[in-house]
A and B are shown apart, each in its own frame.
Chain A
Amino acid sequence: MRPGTKLFIGAGLMLALALALFVSPFASSSPDGLNKVAIEKGFDDTAEDHALDGSPLAGYAVRGITDERISKALSGLIGVLMTFGVGLLIFGVVARRREKEGQPLGEST
Chain B
Amino acid sequence: MHIPDGFINAGTSLGAGAASAAGIGVALRRTGDWLEDRQVPMAGLVAAFIFAVQMLNFPVALGTSGHLLGGALAAVLVGPWAGMICVSVVLLVQALFADGGLTALGLNVLNMGIVTSLVGYGTFVALRKVLPATKPAVSAAAGVAAALSVVISSVAFAAEYAIGGTGTAPVGAVAAAMVGVHAIIGIGEGLITAATVGMVLSVRPDLVYGGWGVAAPLDAGPATPAAQEAK
Q: Interface of A with B (CB < 8 Å)?
A: 1-2, 4-6, 8-9, 12-13, 15-17, 19-20, 23-24, 27-34, 36-38, 40-43, 46-48, 50-53, 55, 57-60, 72, 75-76, 79-88, 90-92, 94-99, 103, 105-106, 108-109
Beta-carbon contact of A37 and B47 below 8 Å: no
Beta-carbon contact of A47 and B169 below 8 Å: no
**A36 in contact with B181 given A28-B59, A52-B98 (CB within 8 Å):** yes
Please give the number of chain B residues whose Cβ is less than 8 angstroms from any Cβ of chain A in the complex.
79
Residue of B44, B60, B98, B228 touching A84 (CB-CB under 8 A) = B44
Residues of the A chain whose Cβ atoms lie less than 8 Å from the Cβ of B56? 19, 23-24, 27
Residues of the B chain whose Cβ atoms lie less than 8 Å from the Cβ of A2? 218-219
Considering the complex, give the chain B residue whose CB is closest to the CB of A99. B37
**B67, CB-defined interface residue at 8 Å:** yes
**A103 in contact with B33 given A19-B56, A50-B101, A58-B98 (CB within 8 Å):** yes
Beta-carbon contact of B44 and A91 below 8 Å: yes
Residues of the A chain whose Cβ atoms lie less than 8 Å from the Cβ of B219? 2
Residues of the B chain whose Cβ atoms lie less than 8 Å from the Cβ of A97? 32
**B223, CB-defined interface residue at 8 Å:** yes
Shortest distance between the CB of B164 and any CB in chain A (Å): 11
**B3, CB-defined interface residue at 8 Å:** yes
Q: How many Å lie between the Cα of A32 and that of B41 in the bound state?
A: 31
Beta-carbon contact of A53 and B98 below 8 Å: yes
Residues of the A chain whose Cβ atoms lie less than 8 Å from the Cβ of B173? 41
Residues of the A chain whose Cβ atoms lie less than 8 Å from the Cβ of B60? 33
Beyond the given pairs A29-B65, A33-B178, 18 more chain A to chain B contacts, judged by CB atoms under 8 angstroms and listed by A's residue number, are: A1-B38, A4-B218, A13-B45, A23-B56, A24-B55, A24-B56, A27-B55, A28-B59, A33-B60, A36-B63, A37-B178, A37-B181, A47-B5, A79-B94, A86-B47, A88-B41, A103-B33, A108-B34
Considering the complex, give the chain B residue whose CB is closest to the CB of A26. B56
Beta-carbon contact of A43 and B7 below 8 Å: yes
Shortest distance between the CB of A93 and any CB in chain B (Å): 9
Q: How many Å lie between the Cα of A32 and that of B44 in the bound state?
A: 26
Beta-carbon contact of A43 and B32 below 8 Å: no
Residues of the B chain whose Cβ atoms lie less than 8 Å from the Cβ of A81? 48
**A9 in contact with B42 given A80-B48, A91-B82 (CB within 8 Å):** yes
Q: How many Å lie between the Cα of A76 and that of B96 in the bound state?
A: 12
Beta-carbon contact of B1 and A60 below 8 Å: no
Beta-carbon contact of B169 and A41 below 8 Å: yes
Residues of the A chain whose Cβ atoms lie less than 8 Å from the Cβ of B140? none
0/1 interface trace, chain B 155-185, chain A, CB 8 Å (1 if under) = 0010000000111110001100110011001
Residues of the A chain whose Cβ atoms lie less than 8 Å from the Cβ of B136? none
Q: How many Å lie between the Cα of A50 and that of B58 in the bound state?
A: 24
Beta-carbon contact of A95 and B99 below 8 Å: no
List 21 contacting pairs A-B, 8 Å CB cutoff, sorted by A.
A2-B219, A16-B51, A19-B56, A28-B65, A32-B2, A37-B177, A41-B174, A42-B168, A43-B169, A47-B5, A47-B101, A51-B101, A55-B97, A57-B96, A83-B47, A86-B92, A87-B45, A87-B48, A91-B44, A91-B82, A94-B28
